[in-house]
């Protein structure tokens, strides 16, 4: 084998190797596997067009270097925004807002959401970013804006107390409305922790103590008033009872008086008589009225 044949053979081997490598690269770049829970966005790099129908899970083919497929997860994800320490460094990833009085509040929150698979191409067109960048950029900013809109209308003491749940519900509702058009479904918004200035916490604690003392005093006063009213009602009832009895007795006496005459008196006397004449003790002798009367008549004769 001469030198020319050797050179041709080497060249052919080299070309074959290059062809195999390029073919492998083209093959690798032309097949894309989309994982379950993800959808793909089909992009034409030459024209810049984006296909508005999402590409679902499975193996997909595309033209190498000309077309591309970008994946987005549509399963439920949770973004946690809080103040924490990492490797000795303080990370301020919390949400800072102000109450209606202007008091600063630091909030640790979390937001769970899913993507609408049919709107994933729109999400890519709007942001041209991966989901993590969108989450910690755009969504975080929306969370801060909505929280300020809601909390900025509430007194700090109410937000830390009785109106906290109401505020959370309002924030979740507003987030759902603002993010729905972008293709985000809000599943749950949670307010994990609230940090307020120490002076505010002390003032609220003192206010609560005063309110408790005032409530106790009010309850005591109500008890005294109730007991007094109860005694008044008892006395009123007793007096009314006596009055009713007196009226009834007077009416009875009136009826009795109007019914008494001479015949009735005599009848009552006879009704009460036991058959014995009245007797009197005179000079240690017991005599009846009849004996006395007969004796007096004899003496007169």
Q: Could you read off the pLDDT of 108-124 as tens digits, one per residue? A: 999 999 999 999 999 99
Residues 94 and 172 reside in one and the same domain: yes
Burial of 30 (0-12, 13-18, 19+ CB in 10 A): middle
Structural domain boundaries enclosing 16: 3-72
Q: How many domains does the chain have?
A: 2
Residue bearing tokens 């003496």: 299
Residue ranges, the chain, pLDDT below 50? 289-290, 292-298, 300-301
Angle at 162 between CA 156 and CA 168, to 5 degrees: 80
pLDDT reported for residue 300: 47
Q: Is residue 63 domain-shared with residue 91, that is, in the same domain?
A: no
The structure tokens listed for 98 are 């102000």
Residues 55 and 92 in one domain: no
Domain co-membership, 64 together with 93: no
Do 49 and 88 belong to one domain? no
Residue 287 lies in a domain: no
Q: How much is the pLDDT for 12? A: 74
For 164-221, the DSSP string reads HHHHHHHHHHHHHHHHHTTTEEEEEEEEEEEE--HHHHHHHHHHHHHHHHHHHHHHHH
Q: Partners of 111 in the beta sheet?
A: 79, 189
Q: Is residue 161 part of a domain?
A: yes
Residue 292 is assigned to a structural domain of this protein: no
Q: Which of 162, 196, 230 is the last residue of a domain?
A: 196
Task: Identify the domain boundary among 170, 196, 222.
Answer: 196
- Do residue 29 and residue 108 come from a single domain? no
Q: Does 81 lie in the same domain as 126?
A: yes
Pick the last residue of a domain from 72, 88, 105.
72
Question: Does residue 121 form part of some domain?
Answer: yes
Of residues 186, 200, 194, the one with CA closest to residue 108 = 194
85, 163: one domain: yes
The pTM (predicted TM-score) of the whole model is 0.62
Say yes or no: 116 and 175 in one domain.
yes
Report yes or no: 42 and 124 within 8 Å, Cβ to Cβ.
no
Give the SS3 label for residue 128: coil
pLDDT at position 5 is: 67
CA distance linking residue 69 with residue 32, whole number of Å: 8
- pLDDT at residue 160 in the model: 87
Claim to verify: residue 52 and residue 119 sit in the same structural domain: no
Confidence at residue 223, expressed as pLDDT on a 0 to 100 scale: 73
pLDDT of residue 202: 78
Domain contains 207 = no
Task: Determine contact, residues 98/152, Cβ cutoff 8 Å.
Answer: yes
Buried b (16+ CB within 10 A) or exposed e, 181-200: ebbbebeebebeebebeeeb
């Amino acid at each position: 084998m001469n030198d020319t044949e050797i050179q041709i053979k080497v060249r052919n081997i080299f070309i074959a190797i290059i062809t195999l490598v390029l073919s492998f690269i083209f093959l690798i770049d032309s097949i894309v596997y989309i994982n379950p829970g993800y959808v793909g966005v089909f992009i034409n790099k030459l024209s810049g067009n984006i296909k508005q129908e999402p590409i679902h899970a499975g193996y997909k083919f595309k033209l190498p270097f000309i077309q591309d497929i970008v994946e987005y997860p549509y399963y439920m994800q949770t973004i946690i925004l809080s103040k924490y320490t990492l490797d000795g460094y303080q990370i301020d990833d919390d949400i800072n807002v102000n109450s209606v009085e202007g008091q600063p509040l630091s909030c640790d929150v979390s937001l769970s959401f899913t993507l609408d698979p049919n709107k994933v191409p729109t999400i890519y067109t709007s942001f041209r970013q991966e989901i993590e960048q969108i989450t910690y950029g755009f969504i975080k900013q929306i969370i801060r804006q909505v929280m300020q809109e809601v909390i900025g209308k509430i007194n700090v003491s109410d937000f830390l107390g009785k109106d906290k749940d109401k505020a959370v519900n309002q924030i979740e509702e507003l987030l759902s409305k603002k993010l729905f058009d972008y293709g985000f479904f809000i599943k749950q918004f949670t307010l994990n922790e609230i940090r307020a200035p120490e002076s505010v916490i002390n003032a609220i604690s003192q206010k609560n103590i005063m309110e408790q003392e005032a409530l106790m005093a009010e309850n005591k006063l109500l008890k005294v008033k109730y007991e007094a009213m109860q005694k008044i009602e008892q006395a009123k009832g007793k007096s009314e009872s006596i009055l009713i009895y007196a009226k009834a007795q007077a009416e009875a006496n009136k009826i009795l008086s109007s019914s008494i005459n001479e015949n009735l008196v005599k009848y009552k006397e006879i009704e009460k008589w036991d058959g014995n004449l009245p007797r009197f003790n005179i000079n240690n002798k017991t005599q009846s009225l009849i004996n006395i009367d007969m004796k007096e008549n004899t003496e007169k004769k």
